[in-house]
Amino acid sequence: MKTEKQMYQWIKENVALTLDRFTPADAAAWLEIAEEETRLFFKLGTHAPSLRRKRMKQPQPKSQKELMAFLLEFRIKVQMISDGYQNLPPVPLFEWGDKRFYMCEAFTQVQLLASERGGNA
């Protein structure tokens, strides 16, 4: 497992990364943290969009609710890469998704699999 310091450095180096460029190896590191050290995942995950917005000269997230919504979406992005989904859109990894993310085929598949029917359409 990567250390907290290594992950902060990774974020600093990859703050402008897009989902389509997020590697399975990096997703595996994030997934391990999400599953084994959830508080650290939250800490790192809330730092990333704040740093991205600072670099992009955009307003900081306004509330904890906004950051929690981002963390939920980010966790889905990590899982999608880990599960091998392909043809993901070039949306910012550390920003809330947009229409391209929510309308992509992979996200549609995730929604179907997570539905009450469990993918049995």
Q: According to the model, what pLDDT value does residue 1 have?
A: 73
Q: According to the model, what pLDDT value does residue 8 have?
A: 97
What is the pTM assigned to this prediction?
0.87
Residues 111, 105: Cα–Cα separation, whole Å: 10
Residues 59, 22: Cα–Cα separation, whole Å: 24
> Rounded to whole angstroms, what are the CA distances from 95 to 12, 48, 61, 64, 114?
14, 9, 10, 15, 22
Any bridge partners for residue 18, and if so which? 92
Mean pLDDT per 10-residue interval, the chain, length 121 residues: 93 97 97 96 96 95 90 94 93 90 86 62 50
All structural domains of the chain with their residue ranges: 4-114
Q: According to the model, what pLDDT value does residue 118 have?
A: 53
Q: According to the model, what pLDDT value does residue 81 have?
A: 95
Residues 3, 86: Cα–Cα separation, whole Å: 28
